[in-house]
Amino acid sequence: MISGISIYEILTVTSILFFIGVYGFITRTNLISILISVELMLNASVVNFVIINKYLFPEVLQGVYFSIFIIAVAAAETALAVSIIINLYRQISSVEVKDVETMKY
Amino acid sequence: MERIIFYCLAAVIIAFGIASVTSRKMLRSVIYLSFVLISIAGIFFLVDYNFLAAIQLTVYAGGIVVLIIFSVLLVHHIEMELEMAKASKKIVTAIACLIGLGVFLRAIYTYDFNVIDNSITTTTADIGTGLLSYEAGGFILPFEVISVLLLAAMIGAIVIAKGSKLTEKNNQP
């Protein structure tokens, strides 16, 4: 654990990061920006898993494993999202949310 | 010392997080995201999970940011500025987010966490043993499932990104 830092301060930082992600997810109108906001939210949850593991249950490693799985799923999700965005851009020449009316390829 | 480092990292995370969701230039917002991800790796180093920090640096700051930069460069002109939402929508969203943050913080600060003082160092060997263990509490099954998931995502990404070309070739016997 970080000496001199309580769990409350770290959880405050991750909560703020999560809601920055929520704010970006709602206000952005661009598919790539929405992807960036999702990454911010996922990262906040990863830090929460790690911090709670380290501060409350230091003798087990379950939080670390869950973080590894979250990071792996996030990587898979990003790869798929980028391929969908590139495919959409080929068909409608735009990545704005309001222009996307078809998901059929 | 660790206190100061943590506060610097927290300030960088919050400042660049806000910058990355409000910047009007697409590429800059991706770079700000990479600053946030690297600072989070710094927090992992501070809590002594070196393996996780290495994963964060390679997979997130290395892989995901590069993928997003590729997609930005493929679909945008660099100088193009983003369309922003209406001011009223921004304000309503900001207020809703602040209310949500208040609820979160109230729940966190009223809960009495049973913190255990420790300085246990976790080696990569411990993490690997737990991931591949068959006994109760082992993570061998999710580990295998995640490898299948990554393979499926890779094939799916290739098929979707090259979609029409692949199907056209297959349809002309």
Q: Give the CATH number of the domain where residue A57 resides.
A: 1.10.287.3510
Q: Do the domain assignments include residue A105?
A: no
Which has more pLDDT, B107 or A2?
B107
Q: Do the domain assignments include residue A1?
A: no
Identity of residue A10: I
Q: Do A7 and B113 touch (CB under 8 A)?
A: yes
Q: Do the domain assignments include residue A2?
A: no
Work out the mean pLDDT of chain B and round it to a whole number: 86
Which has the minimum average pLDDT: A31-35, A42-46, B38-42, B82-86?
A: B82-86
Percent with pLDDT over 90 in chain B: 42
Q: Do the domain assignments include residue A26?
A: yes
Q: Which residue of B has its CA nearest to A19?
A: B97
pLDDT digits (tens, 9 = 90+) for B56-79: 999 988 889 998 998 888 887 666
Which residues from chain A sit within 8 angstroms of residue B73, using beta carbons? none
SS (H, E, C) chain B: CHHHHHHHHHHHHHHHHHHHHHCCEHHHHHHHHHHHHHHHHHHHHHCCCHHHHHHHHHHHHHHHHHHHHHHHHHHCCCCCECCCCCHHHHHHHHHHHHHHHHHHHHHHHHCCCCCCCCCCCCCHHHHHHHHCCCCCCCCHHHHHHHHHHHHHHHHHHHHHHCHHHHHHHHCCC
Domains identified in chain A, total number: 1
Which residues from chain A sit within 8 angstroms of residue B56, using beta carbons? 46, 71
Q: Do the domain assignments include residue A104?
A: no
CB contact A66 to B (< 8 Å): no
State yes or no: pLDDT of A3 exceeds 80. Answer: no
* Domain residue limits at A92: 7-99
pTM for this entry: 0.88
Would you place residue B136 in the very low, low, confident or very high pLDDT band (cuts 50, 70, 90)?
Answer: confident
CB contact A74 to B (< 8 Å): yes
Q: Do the domain assignments include residue A52?
A: yes
State yes or no: pLDDT of B172 exceeds 70. Answer: no
pLDDT digits (tens, 9 = 90+) for B78-97: 666 777 778 888 899 999 99
CB contact A92 to B (< 8 Å): no
Mean pLDDT in residue range B140-151: 92
Q: Do the domain assignments include residue A49?
A: yes
